[in-house]
Structure 1
């Protein structure tokens, strides 16, 4: 069974709709227009109501279009990634993406706030699984971990999910606000955590506790491994007892 809850079956469609709205807004930007949600919707040929589910305000749309969300530096890194050691590939991703996020911390926080607001608004409107992120991190990690052919698919998928915790705005906010670290310390800790997770997954033996002890059930809750009942111990013989 999967170690990660299955994706929403409509997630790909939602992601395509979201991408179309962003593409429409970018096209308007290229022509010198600061796009509104309505204009982006019209350009993408989707309804205004649909566009507002993804971008409830003009601010949300403009933050998505800002330089902070531009994946070009990471995309360029991955396109030219020739090094084979996976640890080095992962370090380059952490340093590039998290380093960029630290340098643009104000935009990171604004983007995170808008994402959370969008999710909450969508849930209040009855949407079960709002799509507020494109999910680029998982795609980037898939490229970085590509040389790990010997890793079982389920373990590799779990590793990707764990490593996603070390990338992006949420990781930066935790390091800065909760742990009170400066930028250099934050990047060093995230780099160390990612490396530790990678090494743990690579050196994990088959049938390990991580594979078997907590398998998800149909409702997404972990199912504990069933343990055999212990036999009651016999009382020790009394050496001083009187023999019959």
Structure 2
């Protein structure tokens, strides 16, 4: 289970003030991520003008704060409620949700990508490999149907053609519009799945 903010603390006494403080911490983190930084809870608290002790009452660690600022990062699946059983439909739904995440948080994702390419830099929090898990979740039915598909390897192949890295190349180098870039990533991912399914037949 992903780390969560301290909801019990938020629901008792001065609820509105606590909600404002929480949102202030979240907003500061979003701005810092957009600027290419990867701050700790203490860093965010200092910039927000909130004591470190208070900040940790809201968010026990950086992951909890990240999940509040960018909720998708705390999800183990992008399929939502009542996921389909068909593999192609599951992949399409996961692609739709992943692309919406990229649309919503493109500045933060670009900044994190730049930071990860800096020699000697630690891996940024946003570069946690979560999307591979999303794609493996989409492929989960293949693990129990005896098809012999290596879903871990296939998820990596799908992530290689659908994410912020190929999106940046398609936009900045190939010169595609956002909708064209997402269409290209979708086609590549579906082609990979189709080729794998054909190989198993």
Instruction: Note whether the superposition's TM-score is higher than 0.5.
Output: yes
Matched, 1:89 2:84: no
In structure 1, distance between residues paired with 2:176 and 2:23: 42
Deviations 1:154-210 (A, max 9, x none): x3222111001133211210211122111111111111101000011112259xxxx
Matched, 1:177 2:178: no
Matched, 1:139 2:133: yes
Equivalent pair of 1:108/1:169 in contact (CA under 8 Å): yes
In structure 1, distance between residues paired with 2:68 and 2:169: 23
In structure 1, distance between residues paired with 2:102 and 2:23: 28
Q: How does 1:1-244 map to 2 (within 5 A)?
A: 30=22, 32-33=24-25, 37=40, 39=42, 43=56, 64=66, 67=69, 69-71=70-72, 77-117=78-118, 120-122=120-122, 132=125, 133-148=127-142, 149-152=145-148, 155-205=150-200
Equivalent pair of 1:73/1:96 in contact (CA under 8 Å): no
The RMSD of aligned alpha carbons is: 4.0
Structure (1 or 2) with the greater helix fraction: 2
**Shift in Å, 1:98:** 1.4
**Shift in Å, 1:32:** 4.8
Partner of 2:13: none
Deviations 1:115-137 (A, max 9, x none): 334x7324xxxxxxx57532211
TM-score between the two structures when normalised by the length of structure 2: 0.61
In structure 1, distance between residues paired with 2:130 and 2:137: 11
- Stretches of structure 1 that go unaligned for 5 or more consecutive residues are 1-15, 55-61, 123-129, 207-244
Cα separation, partners in 2 of 1:174 and 1:23, compared to 1, 3 Å: farther
Partner of 2:32: none
**Shift in Å, 1:78:** 2.0
In structure 1, distance between residues paired with 2:114 and 2:147: 36
Q: Secondary structure at the match of 1:173?
A: helix
TM-score between the two structures when normalised by the length of structure 1: 0.52
Equivalent pair of 1:137/1:164 in contact (CA under 8 Å): yes
Equivalent pair of 1:99/1:187 in contact (CA under 8 Å): no
Cα separation, partners in 2 of 1:137 and 1:81, compared to 1, 3 Å: farther
Give the count of matched residue pairs.
Answer: 163
Cα separation, partners in 2 of 1:144 and 1:205, compared to 1, 3 Å: closer
